[in-house]
Structure 1
Amino acid sequence: MSSSSHGIGGLKYDPKKRERPPELNVFIALVAIVALFEILGRLIIGDSFLFNTRERVDTLFNEQRLKIIILQVSIIGIIALGVTQVIISGGIDLSSGSIVGGAAMITTAFAQSAMNEYGMENVKPILGAEWLDLPIIVPLAIGLGVGLLAGIVNGLLIAKFNIPPFIVTLGMMLFMRGIATFVTKGRPISFLQEDYTAIGAGMNPVFIFIGLAILMHFLLKYTRYGKHTYAIGSNEQAARMSGIKVDRLKVLIYSIAGLLSALAAIVMSSKALTGQAGMGLMYELDAIAMAVIGGTSLAGGRGSILGTCLGALIFGVIISGFTFMRLDAFYQEMAKGIIIVAAVILDQWRAQKQAAKA
């Protein structure tokens, strides 16, 4: 009788032991959470979380709530895309939120206009009158350059000096938050150019997030860059012995993460029509939580962009659900804390389960 298992290159595969893709488990959890808020809404406040209950509304779903959810998660989701590949590589990035703050302040300082849309004159430009109304490519290039430089520094310190990622990115977090405050001594920046504010208008943040998610999914799943990223996260020593240039790859991974954080800063500040030193505060924890909820292992070597996108939606649904249930804002912060701890516990449980099967 022939065996039901077969394999390639000595690696055996048993169809009976197939498991559901981790992304499917995350999707099921997302559906369950939406259903929970739907039930609680109808029982407690007499309203529907997902569907339209108002008269004279032709749409079945509550489009406004759905738009709010995806807009809320799109900007942090951009950060989470970069954080995901960092965690897959076996690292961690605590600086992403502060890079958002620093890049937002520096970018908007160069994106100021002499007049606002109401005809009011900008009498106190941050950098002086000669720096007003620059071609839009200038502030964008400077802002992205700030994020890229921060990422390169992170990567070099981690790869070349063998400093733990936690320490390096914690230091960068404090440094970039200081930069964000230093630029204007904590004052917000307004009078932004129309070309700049158009970047974050309407649903543009969502489209940008989706486009970047597709790009990052392709990079991680179908390119040598992605295969090597998973390899160093699974076993860095084995990756070195197989010829992978680990140090160079780490610098590239953190550079991309910094670049994505800077892009999130541009989208966020253009959406808010202002630059503020507090932008991105604690976003690094939200981004890590989105990735881990989506199935990315804090131990490295496992995770996906699709999972992170679903994790971001879970995060957004929970926060929106708390608002829908008319709970005070501090409950949302408490919920975030619970989500982050729960995500780590879930990751540990998955790791133990994986180890037991090995």
Structure 2
Amino acid sequence: MNNITESQIQHRSHTSFALRLQKWRKSPVFYPLIGFVVIFIAMAFVNDNFLTSTNLSNVARQVSINAIIAVGMTCAILTGGIDLSVGPVMALSGTVAAGLMVAGFPPEVAILGGLLVGALFGAGNGAFVAYAKMPPIIVTLATMGIARGLALIYTGGYPISGLPQGFSILGRGEFLGIQLPILVMLVVYILAFVLLNHTAIGRYIYAIGGNEEAARLSGIRVSRYKVLVYTISGLTAALAGIVLTSRLMSGQPNSGIGFELDAIAAVVLGGTAIAGGRGAIIGTLIGAMMLGVLNNGLNLMGVSPYVQNIIKGGIILLAIYISRSRDK
């Protein structure tokens, strides 16, 4: 009798585990996590310096900038949109903050000024998308050029230096042994997780991406939330620009070039459907870490940057293919 009971318990245990595994496989985070683990282990095997504490800390710090930008990009893509202006907005916000400090404003005021610039640019993008009914890719492609041009005009094409030494803490400082850029990144992801998973706003964002017309008919003010989403994207780009400015201790008008592509890659690798409506913010963080580990490992191996672009492009195509296959 005891043997039968034990076998029944084992059978139920195996069944329960299989059900949990099947449910987990349906999660948007499943494949990104597997991909990250595979790449991490591969890089650890091919290079002895990869697992050193100094290198891993460097990877985390480098990932933090792209990961912060990718939060806003995730929100935009979840609604079925995209934001190509994040790189130039990042540069403009960083240079504005640097210029305000050089002009004599306290760092706190300068940081708020830089964040305000990013938020206003994002709100402008959202207004064109939501109320003028213009395609997000066209709107943000146009504002991409506008933001870069304004950054170059504002600085005269030269970096802004001479920033107060205390400002460097944000990009170079530590708290409890953890670098501040990493802490900023974690705080941003915690806030984004709460917003997307535990608030009505998050539910509306997913609903808009899943079926915009159905969301509108159900009473959701789609235009308002689209403006909010692009404002968040501009705000996270501005924050990343300010953190980078603090790390470099100068406002660089040419910073952020290509960062929009890295942010999109992090979102896609993280399992968010490019058509919107499905994804997880934790997956975006995993995607950003995957890119960071891949870049670092290939650099340690001495792989040419041109070859790295080919490898990253191939991985992104594979991620999109897997995403589309799961949607069918």
TM-score by length of 2: 0.88
User: Could you tell me which residue of structure 2 aligns to residue 108 of structure 1?
Assistant: 98
* Deviation readout 1:62-98 (Å, 9 max, x if unpaired): 1011101111110111000110011011110000011
Q: For residues 276 and 191 of structure 1, what CA distance do their matches in structure 2 show?
A: 13
Letter in 1 for 2:133: N
CA gap of 1:145–1:217, structure 2 versus 1, over 3 A, is same
Question: Offset of 1:38 from its aligned partner?
Answer: 2.6
For the Cα contact (< 8 Å) 1:111–1:196, is it kept in 2?
Answer: no
Kindly indicate whether residue 148 of structure 2 is the aligned counterpart of residue 177 of structure 1.
yes
User: Could you tell me which residue of structure 1 aligns to residue 326 of structure 2?
Assistant: 353
Kindly indicate whether residue 283 of structure 2 is the aligned counterpart of residue 307 of structure 1.
yes
User: Could you tell me which residue of structure 2 aligns to residue 78 of structure 1?
Assistant: 68
Which of 189, 196, 199 is the equivalent residue of 2:167?
Answer: 196
Question: Offset of 1:332 from its aligned partner?
Answer: 3.5
* Deviation readout 1:17-70 (Å, 9 max, x if unpaired): 6352231321221111122223333xxxxx3532xxxxxxxxxxx101110111
User: Could you tell me which residue of structure 2 aligns to residue 98 of structure 1?
Assistant: 88
Letter in 2 for 1:38: A
Q: For residues 259 and 36 of structure 1, what CA distance do their matches in structure 2 show?
A: 35
Q: Which has the higher contact order (CA 8 A, sep 6+)?
A: 2
Q: For residues 195 and 57 of structure 2, what CA distance do their matches in structure 1 show?
A: 28
Q: For residues 31 and 353 of structure 1, what CA distance do their matches in structure 2 show?
A: 20
Secondary structure in structure 1 of the residue aligned to 2:29: helix
Secondary structure in structure 2 of the residue aligned to 1:243: coil
| Structure 2 alignment gaps of length 5 or more | 1-17, 174-178
Letter in 1 for 2:210: S
User: Could you tell me which residue of structure 1 aligns to residue 188 of structure 2?
Assistant: 212
User: Could you tell me which residue of structure 1 aligns to residue 217 of structure 2?
Assistant: 241
For the Cα contact (< 8 Å) 2:61–2:182, is it kept in 1?
Answer: yes
Alignment of 1:20-99 (within 5 A): 20=25, 21-41=27-47, 47-50=48-51, 62-99=52-89
Q: For residues 317 and 44 of structure 2, what CA distance do their matches in structure 1 show?
A: 27
Q: For residues 317 and 121 of structure 2, what CA distance do their matches in structure 1 show?
A: 26
Secondary structure in structure 2 of the residue aligned to 1:111: helix
TM-score by length of 1: 0.81
Kindly indicate whether residue 155 of structure 2 is the aligned counterpart of residue 155 of structure 1.
no
User: Could you tell me which residue of structure 2 aligns to residue 11 of structure 1?
Assistant: none
Question: Offset of 1:111 from its aligned partner?
Answer: 1.3
Q: For residues 210 and 246 of structure 2, what CA distance do their matches in structure 1 show?
A: 38
Which of 144, 147, 153 is the equivalent residue of 2:115?
Answer: 144
Letter in 2 for 1:31: V
Letter in 2 for 1:171: A
* Deviation readout 1:191-245 (Å, 9 max, x if unpaired): 0012322211231100000011011011001100000000000000000000000
Q: For residues 302 and 133 of structure 2, what CA distance do their matches in structure 1 show?
A: 48
Kindly indicate whether residue 23 of structure 2 is the aligned counterpart of residue 18 of structure 1.
yes
CA gap of 1:48–1:199, structure 2 versus 1, over 3 A, is closer
CA gap of 1:335–1:105, structure 2 versus 1, over 3 A, is farther
Q: For residues 120 and 325 of structure 2, what CA distance do their matches in structure 1 show?
A: 37
Kindly indicate whether residue 269 of structure 2 is the aligned counterpart of residue 289 of structure 1.
no
* Deviation readout 1:289-339 (Å, 9 max, x if unpaired): 001000011110011110001001100000000111123444444444x25
CA gap of 1:199–1:48, structure 2 versus 1, over 3 A, is closer
Secondary structure in structure 2 of the residue aligned to 1:18: helix
Letter in 2 for 1:49: F
Percent identical: 39
Letter in 2 for 1:254: Y
Letter in 1 for 2:217: M
| Structure 1 alignment gaps of length 5 or more | 1-13, 42-46, 51-61, 113-130
Secondary structure in structure 2 of the residue aligned to 1:173: helix
For the Cα contact (< 8 Å) 1:292–1:344, is it kept in 2?
Answer: no
Aligned pairs, number: 304
Question: Offset of 1:349 from its aligned partner?
Answer: 3.6
For the Cα contact (< 8 Å) 1:102–1:176, is it kept in 2?
Answer: yes
Q: For residues 137 and 48 of structure 1, what CA distance do their matches in structure 2 show?
A: 38
Cα root mean square deviation, aligned: 1.7
